[in-house]
A and B are shown apart, each in its own frame.
Chain A
C-alpha cells in the first residue's frame, strides 16, 4: 500500500532504467512487495535466480526446506499467521510437481501464496527436455492464476499482477513459471510498479444495499438467529467489525475450523465449532434457528452434513466475497456479496441491539450436556491412558491461549481445534479443505516466521509427522523455534475410528509403526522427550515451552480413542452423536 502511494508521486517524472537480468528484477520486485522470507529449494532451471539471491542475502531471508511440498506448507503457515503473501521458489520438473499438494491446499483454503518455478529454456519447451514438465497445465486446477514468463521484460508486471491476484478478493495461490532464458536475459528495468487493477478481474463484488437491508430486516425480526463464521472474517481482516456486529446483535456465533479465533474462544457469544466433530449445540441448533447468518464460510460438506436436511426451517443470509460460493451448496434467501469488512459495517448500522437470552440458554443447555457427557471425561480423566484432550487442555493452561497452534490432519487435529484456546486471531493454522497429512510440521516453520514473537506449537499425529519429518532438517539448520508435540496413538487414528464405527472394526492398514521420534530429533540436534504417564504431562509440556529453541515432545495417548461428537457421514447435523 505504501509503495503504491510512493509511486504516484514519481509517476510524472520519467523513469530511469538500469540494465539487469530477469532474476534481479524478480528479487527487486519481491522486495518491493515487502517480501522478507522465501521458502525454497534450488535446482537446474532456477539457478540464475539462486545466483542472484546470493547477493541479496541481507534483504531476503531464504529458508532452504527439505522438500518443495514443505516450502508450500511453510509459505501457507507464514501467510496464515502474518496475513501476508507467502513466497516459494522451486525448480522445474520434480521441483514444480512437488508444489502441487501445497497449491491445492492453499487453493481450497484461500491462502495467498506466490510460487516461482524455474522452467527449461523457452526454445526447449515441449521437447521433453531434462526436468521439463508442463507446470502451467499441471497447476491450472489448483491455482487462482498462473502464467509462464519467457521474456524478462514481462517479469516486473507479471510479478506485480501475481501478488495483486494472490492477496485481493478471495485470496489464493498463484504460480509464475519463468524459463531459464528469461531469468538470464538482460533488459532495461524501469523499476517496480505494484498492480492494483486487472481489467478482467473483479476481486470485490459491488455491494448491493438492498440485500444489506433485507438481511437487516431478517435479523431484526428473528427470534432464533444464529451466526456461522469462517475464515472470510480473518482473510478480510474484519475481526473488529465482526465482533461489533456479534456484540450488537447478541447472536450466538459458531465457527468453521478455519474461522477459529476470529473472536476469542472465551467470548460469551462464541458458542463453539461447527461440523462433523464440532460442538453439540451449534450442530443441533443449525436445524432449530430461524435465521442463519453465514459469514465468510462456504458450507463445506464437513460442516453441513446431509444437505437436504440442513437448516431447512431457516432463512439463510450468506455473506461472501466470492459470488461462486453463493447458492453453491446451500440456497441463500439473501445473498450479501462483498468484502465482509464493508458489508458487516453496513449491516451493523441497520441491526437492532438485542440479547436473545432464552435462545442463548438453549445453547448453554447443550453445552452443559456436552461438558458432562463428553468434554469433562476428555479433558480431565483421572485414570487410564492419556487422552489427546487432556494434553491440549494442559497446553491451554500453560500457553493461556496466546500460542499459535498448528495442527496436522486427523484425530489430533479435531481435538486441537475443538479444545485449543485462542485469545487472538491468526493463532490457529490447520489444513481444512484439503485435509493434507504432513501439513503440520512445515506449516509450523512458516507460522513461526510469520509470527516470530509467538510461541508456535505444532500438534501432529504419529502418521502425519512421518509424511514430512524431513523438515526437521530445516528446523535444525535455521534454528526455527517450533515446539513439536506428537500425539502418538500408534494408529492412523481417524481412519481407524471410521473402520471401527462403519467397517466392523476391520482395521485395514491403519496400524502404523513409528521410529523412535526422540532419537530422530536427537539426530537433528533437537532436544526431545517421550512420556506416557499423566503425572509427567504438565511438567513435560512446561519443559517443552520453556526450552530455548525447538523441542520435540512425544506423548503416548490412548490407542483406540474416538473423536466425538460426530455427525456420521450422510447424516443431518442434528443427528450428531455424543458417543
Chain B
C-alpha cells in the first residue's frame, strides 16, 4: 500500500490515460452519481460508454480520463462506494485492448470519381456501410489516431458528417469475468425496473 521508493512516487504522480470499467445495476440516476464523482474534482471525462453487459440487469461503463494513479485509485473507491455499483476496475492503456468506432459520410460522386476506394478500404481497414446515389458511409474501428487519419484523407473530398463512438475496452487480465458475473446473477437475480403505468394516463389522473 505504501510507496517504497522515489520511482514509484514519480509513476503515481504522472498523469496518464486510465480506463475505468464499472459494473452497475441498471438503475435510473446511476450515470449521474458516477459522473459527479469526476466533475466535483473538476476532472473531465474524455470518453464514456455505457451499455448492457452480457448479463441482464447489469450494465458496464467504460470511462476514460487522464489523471495520476493516486487520484484514479481514490476515484475508483468513491465510485465503488455507490450503492448501485457492483465493481470498479481501472487500467492503464497497457492493460487493455480498446477500440473506438467511427462513421464517415461523404458525397458518393466525389468519392467514386477521385478516390481509390479500394485502396482506402484496404489501407484504413474501413468498411462501407451504405452506398446511395448522394452519399456513402464508411465505417472504421481503431484507436484515436487511426480514426483521425481517415478524417484527414476524406476531408478534401467533402466530408459531410463524422461521428466517433466512445472507447470500449476489454481488460487483458480478466479471466473468469463472465463466469463470475453469471454466477453472481444466478445467486442474486436482478430486479426489473417497474414501469410507471401513470405516465401515459394523463386524463385519468386528478391534479391539484
The chain B residue sitting closest to A322, CB to CB, is B81
Contact B201 A123 (CB under 8 A): yes
Question: Chain A contact residues: over half helix, strand or loop, or mixed?
Answer: mixed
Contact A140 B32 (CB under 8 A): yes
Contact A121 B205 (CB under 8 A): yes
Complex Cα distance A150/B193, Å?
Answer: 11
Contact A201 B83 (CB under 8 A): yes
Flag whether A333 is at the interface (Cβ < 8 A): yes
Given B74, B86, B199, B207, which contacts A328 in the complex, CB threshold below 8 Å?
B74
Complex Cα distance A147/B194, Å?
Answer: 12
Which residues from B are CB-within-8-Å of A29? none
With contacts defined as CB atoms under 8 Å apart, how many contacts are there between chain A and chain B in the complex? 85
Complex Cα distance A323/B201, Å?
Answer: 45
Complex Cα distance A137/B33, Å?
Answer: 9
Contact A150 B29 (CB under 8 A): no
Contact B198 A323 (CB under 8 A): no
> Of residues 285 to 340 in A, which have CB atoms within 8 Å of B's CB atoms?
322-324, 326-328, 331-333, 335
Complex Cα distance A144/B84, Å?
Answer: 11
Complex Cα distance A123/B80, Å?
Answer: 33
Flag whether A47 is at the interface (Cβ < 8 A): yes
Complex Cα distance A213/B78, Å?
Answer: 27
CB distance from A354 to the nearest CB of B (A): 26
Contact A146 B29 (CB under 8 A): yes
> Of residues 19 to 53 in B, which have CB atoms within 8 Å of A's CB atoms?
24-25, 28-29, 32-33, 36, 40
Contact B1 A324 (CB under 8 A): no
Contact A331 B83 (CB under 8 A): no
Flag whether A349 is at the interface (Cβ < 8 A): no
- Measured as residues with beta carbon below 8 angstroms from the partner, the interface class of chain A is 35 or more
The chain B residue sitting closest to A124, CB to CB, is B207
Contact A200 B74 (CB under 8 A): no
Contact A200 B205 (CB under 8 A): no
Which residues from A are CB-within-8-Å of B73? 327
Flag whether B125 is at the interface (Cβ < 8 A): no
Contact B199 A122 (CB under 8 A): yes
Flag whether A199 is at the interface (Cβ < 8 A): yes
Complex Cα distance A409/B205, Å?
Answer: 47
Contact B36 A141 (CB under 8 A): yes
* Chain A interface (Cβ < 8 Å from any Cβ of B): 44, 47, 121-125, 136-137, 140-141, 144-148, 150-151, 153-154, 165, 179-182, 184-185, 198-201, 322-324, 326-328, 331-333, 335
Give 5 new A-B contacts, CB below 8 A, not counting A179-B198, A323-B81.
A121-B205, A123-B200, A198-B83, A199-B25, A200-B84
* Chain B interface (Cβ < 8 Å from any Cβ of A): 1-3, 24-25, 28-29, 32-33, 36, 40, 73-74, 77-78, 80-81, 83-86, 184, 188, 190, 194, 196-202, 205-208
6 A-B pairs, CB-CB below 8 angstroms?
A: A123-B202, A148-B28, A151-B194, A181-B198, A199-B188, A331-B3
